[in-house]
Amino acid sequence: MTYDTKNIRNVVLLGHSGSGKTTFAESMLFEAKETTRRGTINDNSTVSDYTNIEHERGNSIFSTLMHAKWKDSKINIIDTPGFDDFIGEVISSLKVADTAVMLLNARDGVEVGTEIMWEYIERFKTPALFVINHLDNEKADYAQTLEQAKDRFGKKLLEVQYPLNQGKEFNTIVDALRMIMYQFPADGGKPTKIPIPDSEIERAQNIHNLLVEAAAENDETLMERFFDQGTLNEEELAAGLTVALAHQQIFPVFCASALQNMGSGRIMGFINDIAPSPADRPPAELEGGETLACDTNGKTSVFIFKTLSEPRVGMLSYFKVYSGSLKTGDELVNASNRSSERISQLFNANGKTRSAVEELKAGDIGVTVKLKDTKTSDTLNVKGVDHRIDPIHFPAPRIRTAVSPPSKNDMEKLMKALHQIATEDPTLIIEQSKALKQTLLHGQGQLHLDIIKYRIEKVNNVSMEFIKPKIAYRETITKVANDSYRHKKQSGGSGQFGEVHMRIEPYYEGMAPPSGLNVRNEEIEELPWGGKLVFTWCIVGGSIDAKYSNAIKKGVMQKMEEGPLTGSYCRDIRVCIYDGKMHAVDSNDMAFMIASSQVFKNAFQVAGPQIMEPIYDLEILCSDEVMGDVMGDLQTRRAVIQGMEREGHYQKIKAKVPLAELYKYSSTLRSLTQGRAKFNRKFAEFNPVPHDIQKQLISTYQAQFEEA
């Protein structure tokens, strides 16, 4: 069956790990009769979380696309992971969703994972509703969870429902929108509708009035009717709430026990009746600032939001039709690389189960297979159209590790497998570091990298070991030094001769010209690794011909690429060539390259050499209870605390920390806080390492050099 845009709802399930998203999705599918029984996480039978690795771990790692028919609508449901290590799956899902359903754990309240998701809801300006789940837990606290949510997310949160009882006896929900009470049987499912008891009428009526006011606020006609009659009928109320929800003016709050299948059917009905269709959302942003309306009558444009390799099938491409309609057999053009792609098959998905369809209209989400040259964030258009939907902007990595090099044959297999995973997961960045002579993996957290390792070993049958990555230090100088070096080599026939007199000094912006020297030419080189080399030619009288200037500069650059102290890059140095000698026959470029490289090395050693280390800005969000442990750990990492401030009911700690001290920080923080903290890091600057560490680094490098 093909659904019109106005009858499509695209919903993403969000929440901290353990909030019950996957179980809630099971209830949604069961209530819509897409399944005949509700699967459970314990017996690995859920529609979502269907991969072996998710079965082993017992939690979501990948986003999963599902769908359900409800009345005349198709509701596309995307279940997402709760750990921020897999935030890429969340962001790509939010990109194509039109409504977010945020699940809160009634026992634990607003958790760090919830904070993370909310940041992206605000960034995408996605309409959202909240579901306070796990109300059957013996430690459930609906009132406290709601209060925390309002404190963090604002007063736009409006109750639609509240539990009459909670804990192990939970079975009754008061619905203030419909002014009815739902009482569920012991095994959940379809509730009995009963009148709200007299003891709850006043509370329910007050909540109802707030919802009516919110619905009337955007429409003068509704507002007048509300003032005249004191209420709105069901149709008027639905129309007003649709506008308010679509414009993020309200965030409705519902109640549920996903485990007991209580409450999901009512939420499905609200999504069907009130949540915006793709046509109700703002036009998609295109690269270059233009927009694209979601219109079935427009020319076809399709956006790929996720790719996944499946054994015996190949590459699956998950997409949203942003304009026009997509039919089996259509030929589309990739806007990024101009390659042509034939859509050989189209599917609706319920986890790993896919059903073939002939057409999907604007706003719908589906799956196709075996696209040749198309990856995540690509746009496919009908021929003659060049729309490029704004790509998914993934966060920068927060953790890195090095890969122990296996045998040459295994290394080739490993890199092929890693690049395949990186195609599916853009938050994984692979770096072949020339400076460190290591293969580095950059990811979102230790769990993220551990899952990559699992997939490489289990799926690709390649052994992969993580080792501590080296640090990209920098070397510079703190004093002025003069030195000279003569390179002389005679081996029959023409020899080699070059003598260079050099001054080196620390460079900084706006420094005065070199004292006592006559600068004939100055070149300022922006170094690829940061910082500058200022190369000045100060020779008067022709003691060295200017034609050797480039060779001398090249010799300096060679040594700066492998610094004298630890083999690290050098930066921020002014080099002055002020004298030397040459030979009419034996002087050549090679001789002067060798001489300049050696004199630079010698002068560097007496110019107050200094090793610089990368410093990162670190931001940590954690609760008051664990802040002391987090601060204590930071002090062991040579951190400089920059400040603390409250954000919601969390503490934000800001610090500057050397990269060398951040190895496995993700695992340590998770252990210290039981997973209830998050962090971000960003490169800040290079700072001098302490004297004792510099001494140790030089000693280690020299020992390795001698062994080699």
User: What pLDDT score does 216 carry?
Assistant: 83
CB 106 within 8 A of CB 130: no
Q: Please write the tens of the pLDDT for every residue from 27-79.
A: 999 999 999 999 999 999 999 999 989 999 899 999 999 999 999 999 999 99
Would you call 451 exposed, middle or buried from its count of C-beta atoms within 10 A (0-12, 13-18, 19+)? buried
User: What pLDDT score does 509 carry?
Assistant: 93
- In the numeric block, the tokens 């998770």 are attached to 670
Amino acid, single-letter form, for residue 605: Q
How many whole angstroms separate alpha carbon 501 and alpha carbon 599? Answer: 8
| Whole-prediction pTM | 0.89
What whole-number percentage of the chain has pLDDT above 90? Answer: 81
User: What is the average pLDDT across 417-443?
Assistant: 93
User: What pLDDT score does 311 carry?
Assistant: 82
pLDDT at 677 over 80: yes
pLDDT at 586 over 60: yes
DSSP-H helix ranges across 34-188: 52-57, 87-96, 112-124, 142-153
CB 99 within 8 A of CB 127: yes
DSSP-H helix ranges across 506-616: 549-561, 589-605
154: left (phi over 0), alpha (psi -120 to 50) or beta: left
Q: Please write the tens of the pLDDT for every residue from 151-176.
A: 989 989 999 999 999 999 999 999 99
Residue among 493, 563, 492 nearest 533 (CA)? 563
Number of CB atoms found within 10 A of residue 422's CB: 16
User: What pLDDT score does 678 carry?
Assistant: 87
Residue among 16, 32, 236 nearest 111 (CA)? 16
Rounded to the nearest 10°, the torsion over CA 325, 330, 331, 335 is 20
Q: Which long-range contacts (CB under 8 A, 24 or more apart) does 36-41 make?
A: 38/261
User: What is the average pLDDT across 502-525?
Assistant: 95
Please provide the average confidence, as pLDDT, over all residues in the chain: 93
* DSSP result, 76-108: EEEE--SSGGGHHHHHHHHHH-SEEEEEEETTT
> Furthest-apart CA pair in the chain: how many Å?
113
CB 8 within 8 A of CB 57: no
pLDDT at 406 over 80: no
What contacts 659, CB < 8 A, 6 or more positions away? 471, 613, 614, 615, 616
Residue 331 — φ and ψ, nearest 5°?
A: -105, 120
Residue among 663, 586, 670, 691 nearest 620 (CA)? 670
Residue 92 — φ and ψ, nearest 5°?
A: -65, -35
How many whole angstroms separate alpha carbon 652 and alpha carbon 622? Answer: 7
pLDDT at 240 over 90: no
Domains of the chain are: 5-280 (3.40.50.300), 284-382 (2.40.30.10), 401-467 (3.30.70.870), 475-607 (3.30.230.10), 611-693 (3.30.70.240)
3-state DSSP call for residue 575? strand
User: What is the average pLDDT across 222-239?
Assistant: 73
Tokens representing 34 are 């897409």
* DSSP result, 367-391: EEE--SS--TT-EEEETT----BPP
User: What is the average pLDDT across 381-387?
Assistant: 95
User: What pLDDT score does 226 carry?
Assistant: 66
Host H or E run for residue 66: strand 64-70
> Model confidence at 434, in pLDDT bands (50, 70, 90)?
confident
CB 616 within 8 A of CB 659: yes
Host H or E run for residue 569: strand 569-570
How many whole angstroms separate alpha carbon 305 and alpha carbon 337? Answer: 17
Q: Which long-range contacts (CB under 8 A, 24 or more apart) does 165-171 make?
A: 166/106, 166/135, 166/136, 166/140, 166/141, 166/142, 167/135, 167/136, 167/137, 167/138, 167/139, 167/140, 168/136, 168/138, 170/135, 170/136, 170/140, 170/257, 170/260, 170/262, 171/262
Give the total residue count for the chain. 708
What contacts 101, CB < 8 A, 6 or more positions away? 11, 12, 13, 14, 24, 128, 129, 130, 131, 267, 271
What whole-number percentage of the chain has pLDDT above 70? Answer: 98
User: What is the average pLDDT across 369-375?
Assistant: 94
Would you call 628 exposed, middle or buried from its count of C-beta atoms within 10 A (0-12, 13-18, 19+)? exposed
User: What pLDDT score does 492 carry?
Assistant: 64
- Higher pLDDT: 63 or 707? It is 63
User: What is the average pLDDT across 504-508?
Assistant: 97
User: What pLDDT score does 284 carry?
Assistant: 96
Tokens representing 401 are 């590790």
pLDDT at 228 over 90: no
pLDDT at 649 over 80: no
> Model confidence at 227, in pLDDT bands (50, 70, 90)?
low
pLDDT at 344 over 90: yes
User: What pLDDT score does 355 carry?
Assistant: 96
How many whole angstroms separate alpha carbon 160 and alpha carbon 182? Answer: 13
Residue among 625, 621, 672, 618 nearest 645 (CA)? 621
pLDDT at 708 over 60: no
> Model confidence at 312, in pLDDT bands (50, 70, 90)?
confident
Per-residue CA distances from 508 to 44, 479, 511 (Å): 62, 12, 6
| Residues 299-330 as b or e (16 or more Cβ within 10 Å = b) | ebbbbbbbbbeeeeeebbbbbbbbbbbbeeeb
How many whole angstroms separate alpha carbon 62 and alpha carbon 697? Answer: 41
Per DSSP, 280 falls in state G
